[in-house]
Chains A and B, each alone.
Chain A
Amino acid sequence: MSEPIIELRDIEKHFGPVIALAGVSLSVHPGECHCLLGDNGAGKSTFIKVMSGVHQPSKGEIRFEGAPVRFADPRVAIAAGISTVYQDLAMIPLMSVSRNFFMGNEPQKRVLGIPFFDHDYANRVTMEEMARLGIRLRGPDQAVGTLSGGERQTVAIARAAYFGARVLILDEPTSALGVRQTSNVLATIDAVRKRGVAVVFITHNVRHAHAVGDRFTVLNRGRTLGTASRGEISPEELQDMMAGGEELAELEGSLGGTV
């Protein structure tokens, strides 16, 4: 297998007296979808914030392409090719799809020496990219607010990939979505992975993880419970690891099905 593009070793993060992460390790290879699973409060959000440069780790090492790095702030991480798509903060509803797609990466063309936003180019690329994803727009100036939640996640993922993300961190992209929208987003993740992007997919839904994941890492109470490859572990086992086992099994018995 190829070298991991990003590797985090024994990451600890303390907020004053609170130990949010007590030793988490994870590595991601290009073209791999690595699922990070954990229940609420397991430390998933803190961990991805360390990975994307929002927080500095208290202890531990981050290696990017084999070399130790320190991401002082998110812009450094973005410049290195690490993009994060946040569930609620992926897009700005009042702005058009085209303006959202190029937000922070606006194409420019000079007219009389003055750099102007190249709307023609932005609109054309947006329409092409949306067509590839199967999202039909009335026009590039349609407001993002009119898109469904799944479409917004899809656009955000496509945007990150388009602008050269090499590591794509997805923070619970499917947790608020319906069945159909979820499968669209999962299909987009698969397409992005096939282009060689390393995907870190954060979720607490084992079935979503199992649908696209190559490897699975489970977090519980700030620690890594272990990493398993696809085929080594069943969805039920993952579910048990996440929830801490027996109580859930009992509950499932009384409810008569998988939670």
Chain B
Amino acid sequence: MTDTVQDERVKQTSKLRDWLMRPELGAACGTILVFVFFLMIAHDTGMFSPDGVRNWMVVAAQFAIIATGACLLMIAGEFDLSIGSMIGFSGIVIAILSVQVGLPVWLAIICAFVAAMGIGAFNGFLVIRTGLPSFIVTLASLYILRGLTIWLSILTTNRTIISGVGQAGEGDWLGAVFGGVAFQGLFQWFADIGLLDVYTSGTRAGQPLVQGVPMMIVWAVALIVFAHLLLTRTRFGNWIYAAGGNAQAARYAGVPVNRVKILMFMFTAFCATVFAAAQVMEFGSAAADRGLLKELEAIICVVIGGALLTGGYGSVIGAAMGALIFGIVQQGLYFAGAESSLFRVFLGVILLMGVILNTYIRQMITGER
């Protein structure tokens, strides 16, 4: 058997080193660090009460939804800088179609998904056909989509914020899939047995403060699980790694690289639209400037999660932990009463640390160290 012969030149590596080479390492350490940090400075502010946890979990879930799409796309070797504009676009499409045109909300949401994924496919098609870097192609889409979104909104309503989606979506089945809460019964039961605080007065007396798990979080978890299984446990996942690792070598081995890349652009657009739909259904309104800078934040989550900017390597779980770090820090600073602009300082610093760590890990994998 193979295990009995050892090549004297191949050094046996410790379990520790194997573990250190996992892409999620940096993000896991970061998650623990920020948890401990905010437990120390903000434990008495309500940040870790059920209501506080819901608060930062929703923010983390928002990051996670777009980071999941950006992660698979980056591993497939491409970028999408139009994620943020796509969020604004999809939101406005839902609002215009449901409020102005009067379509049922479920149909408006489906139309937004179709339009966004069509644009995603077009982005991918342009990147493949022109051979240009996706950075440039999607930078163009960033501006084109944002401009179109604002123009569409002004054209139809004369303003950039469209409200009234809440009333239009009342009782809509698909609207509830994005804007409602899950496990309501379970949370009511928790409240009944005294595990959760309840409203003590008003029309909602007796109902728990936290009524259930917001759908934003349910979507985030579902997308993370789906993307993780797809990447690590399926044939298509192997093609994603291969397309990003070396597209030409993958083509020679019979991998349909173009199809993989275009599908990943579409998946990124899908994730952006999930974000937009959940946000619109939660707020009851859409704004043309929503999602600003989200594309960069998504990419930062992915990089902190251990993915290489050059493609071919990364982890969905890592990206999800990157999103969790973001949620905790952004809301934690708020709970701790710190200046919120510090969040950007933190973003920059952690991005730099993430990239340096990743470069080092890659050198370990390829045996350069």
Contacts and interface: CB of A to CB of B under 8 A. Distances in A.
A, B assembled together: yes
A115 B235 contact: yes
B344 interface: no
Contact of B2 (A104, A136, A143): A136
Contacts of A84: 252
A84 B234 CA distance: 25
A103 interface: yes
A138 B10 contact: yes
Given A92-B250, A130-B2, A117 B235 contact: yes
Contacts of B365: 94, 143, 145-146
Which of A93, A103, A138 has the most B CB atoms < 10 Å from its CB?
Answer: A103
Interface in B214-261: 229, 233-235, 237-238, 241-242, 245-246, 248-255
A92 B252 contact: no
B10 A99 contact: no
A154 to B, nearest CB: 14
Contacts of B246: 89, 92-93
Contacts of B238: 95, 99, 102-103, 106, 117
A74 B251 contact: yes
A106 B249 contact: no
Contacts of A75: 254
Contacts of B101: none
Contacts, number: 91
B245 A136 contact: no
A136 B7 contact: yes
A255 B365 CA distance: 44
B241 A131 contact: no
Interface string A115-155: 11101000000011011000011100001011000000000
Contact of B362 (A94, A115, A128): A94
Contacts of B254: 74-75, 78, 104-105
Nearest to B367: A146
Contacts of A105: 254
Interface in A66-115: 74-75, 78, 84, 86, 89-95, 99, 102-106, 108, 115
B253 A138 contact: no
A94 B245 contact: yes
A201 B122 CA distance: 42
Contact of A103 (B233, B242, B308, B362): B242
Contact of A136 (B10, B13, B255, B367): B10
B66 to A, nearest CB: 24
A95 B241 contact: yes
B366 A146 contact: yes
B345 interface: no
B205 interface: no
Interface in B24-75: none
A75 B366 CA distance: 30
B366 A89 contact: no
A116 B366 contact: no
B249 A117 contact: no
A128 B3 CA distance: 11
A89 B247 CA distance: 9
Contact of A94 (B5, B10, B312): B312
Contacts of A108: 235
A181 to B, nearest CB: 13
Contacts of A137: 2, 10
A29 B14 CA distance: 48
A70 B229 CA distance: 40
A74 B367 CA distance: 32
Contacts of B341: none
A181 B229 CA distance: 38
Contacts of A117: 233-235, 237-238
A74 B233 contact: no
Interface string A149-173: 0000000000000000000000000
Nearest to A132: B2
B2 A99 contact: no
Contact of B242 (A95, A127, A138, A145): A95
B275 interface: no
Contacts of A78: 254
B12 A138 contact: yes
Given A95-B245, A103-B255, A146-B365, A127 B250 contact: no
B194 to A, nearest CB: 39
- Most chain A CB within a 10 A radius of its CB, from B241, B245, B366: B245
Which of B6, B235, B237, B250 has the most CB atoms of chain A within a 10 A radius of its CB? B235
B2 A127 contact: yes
Contacts of B13: 138
A105 B10 CA distance: 28
Interface in B277-300: none
Top 10 nearest A-B pairs (CB, nearest first) are A145-B366, A92-B245, A104-B254, A146-B367, A106-B235, A104-B253, A136-B7, A89-B249, A131-B2, A94-B312
Interface of B: 1-2, 5-7, 10, 12-13, 229, 233-235, 237-238, 241-242, 245-246, 248-255, 308, 312-313, 362, 365-367
Given A99-B242, A102-B238, 20 more contacts: A74-B251, A74-B254, A75-B254, A84-B252, A86-B252, A89-B246, A89-B248, A90-B249, A91-B249, A92-B242, A93-B245, A94-B241, A94-B245, A94-B308, A95-B245, A103-B250, A106-B235, A115-B235, A136-B10, A138-B12
25 contacts: A74-B252, A74-B254, A89-B246, A92-B245, A94-B241, A94-B312, A94-B365, A95-B238, A95-B241, A99-B242, A103-B238, A103-B255, A104-B250, A104-B255, A105-B254, A116-B229, A116-B233, A117-B235, A127-B2, A131-B5, A136-B2, A136-B5, A136-B7, A137-B10, A143-B365
